[in-house]
Structures are given as C-alpha cells and as structure tokens.
C-alpha cells in the first residue's frame, strides 16, 4: 500500500502575483472580511516582503492559523484559516 499526500485545499483563491505590499495585504484582508468563519483562503504570491512579514504579521494579529507551501511558477501559496 502506498501513501499519497494530498495538496491542501482552500475554499477561495486570491492570486496577487506581481503585486507588492501594501496591495497584497489589503486584498487578502478585504477578501477575508467577506468570508465566513471556518473557511480557508489560498493566497498565491511572489512578493517576499508579503510572505515573510506583512501577511504572517496580519494573520498573527488576527489569530488566523496559516501555512506556507510551494506554489506555481516560483510563487508561494499561503493558506489562511479564518477562525472567526
């Protein structure tokens, strides 16, 4: 029997490739505000400042759990769980 790993699944996707802080943070924040509690947002991003500081800092402030994964074309995928 072989083990398979599943790609984490999101309820909504926000592609902000090519954009920089603060646009990436504003778009993610606005999308999360529209989402119901218990949903997961996937943010596809290629801006290091967004991935290393702005988005993680925002998630920690809001107490939203998040994960970082490799994404398409050198971008990263940030999965954010809206907990309230």
Domain-located, residue 7: no
Looking at the predicted structure, is the pLDDT value of residue 2 above 60?
A: no
Per the structure, the complete domain to which residue 33 belongs is given by 12-81
43 by DSSP, 3-state: which? strand
pLDDT of residue 3: 56
Q: How far apart are CA 22 and CA 7, in angstroms?
A: 28
Domain-located, residue 4: no
Question: Tens digit of pLDDT for each residue in 30-60?
Answer: 999 999 999 999 999 999 999 999 999 999 9
Domain-located, residue 70: yes
Q: How far apart are CA 13 and CA 42, in angstroms?
A: 5
* 6 vs 39, more confident: 39
Domain-located, residue 3: no
Domain-located, residue 73: yes
Q: Which residues does 16 contact at the CB level (< 8 Å), separation at least 6?
A: 23, 24, 27, 28, 43, 44, 45, 47, 50
CATH number of the structural domain spanning residue 57: 3.30.110.40
pTM for this predicted structure: 0.90
Q: How far apart are CA 37 and CA 44, in angstroms?
A: 21
């Amino acid at each position: 029997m072989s083990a398979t790993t599943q790609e984490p699944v999101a309820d909504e996707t926000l592609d902000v490739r090519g954009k920089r802080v603060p646009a990436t943070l504003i778009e993610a924040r606005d999308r999360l505000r529209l989402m119901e509690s218990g949903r997961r947002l996937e943010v596809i991003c290629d801006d290091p400042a967004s991935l290393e500081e702005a988005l993680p800092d925002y998630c920690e402030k809001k107490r939203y759990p998040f994960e970082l994964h490799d994404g398409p074309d050198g971008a990263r995928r940030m999965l954010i769980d809206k907990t309230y």
